[in-house]
Amino acid sequence: MTDDELIALARAAALKAYAPYSRFSVGCAVMSVNGEVVTGANLENACYRLGLCAEQSALTAAQHAFGLAKVARVAVAGGDGSGAELKGEAPVTPCGGCRQALLEASLLGGRDIEVVCASGDGAAVERHQLSALIPHGFGPAALGDSG
Ligand code: THU
């Protein structure tokens, strides 16, 4: 699947966001090493801090569909999802918590993850390796000194 196709799936997923509080709809498409794709969207809550990001929603779907260890590439897009198509000009990069969640999948699979960050309208795209988005991350090895 091309980056453009993965972005299109992320943009479509964003239209299913439940984001009445921020009115910022985010979609994420996660592709496996074998080309399988799952999607997710942000899921907000009246208790604001309990909201779930699109990436973590998509990672949960990936866990069930093919397993976190097989995550190879993700696309993220976000913006105004109130119309028939997602709108917005600025590429959306994963928040810190989502980078941490992606890091767990990356370490489990022993591979870097490509992160394709798109604007809501899909026109602006940034590509990053997860390792560049979360250098010096806290992973399972950091728990080596636990009691
Ligand atoms: N959001 C995501 O879904 N992913 C990110 O990486 C950044 C932020 C969501 C959380 C919240 O529902 C809305 O965007 C505004 O922060």
Separation of alpha carbons 52 and 37, rounded Å:
20
Point out the ligand 1 atom lying closest to the alpha carbon of residue 41: 3
Residue where the block lists tokens 């600025």 = 90
pTM over 0.85: yes
Cross-sheet strand order for the sheet of 114-119: 37-41, 25-32, 71-79, 114-119, 125-129
Ligand 1 center to 33 CA (angstroms): 26
98 ligand 1 Cβ < 6 A: yes
CA of 82 to the centre of ligand 1 (A): 16
pLDDT digits (tens, 9 = 90+) for 102-145: 999 999 999 999 999 999 999 999 999 999 999 999 999 999 99
Q: Could you report the per-residue pLDDT of 35-66, keeping only the tens digit for each?
A: 999 999 999 999 999 999 999 999 999 999 99
Rounded Cα gap, residues 133 and 80, in angstroms: 24
Every domain of the chain and the residues it spans:
3-139
Name the residue of 26, 30, 48, 133 whose CB sits within 8 Å of the most ligand 1 atoms, as the mutation to test its pocket. 26
pLDDT of the residue at 132: 98
Selected from 1.10.3470.10, 3.40.50.2000, 3.90.180.10, 3.40.140.10, the CATH number assigned to the domain covering 3-139 reads 3.40.140.10
CA 26 to ligand 1 centroid distance, Å: 6
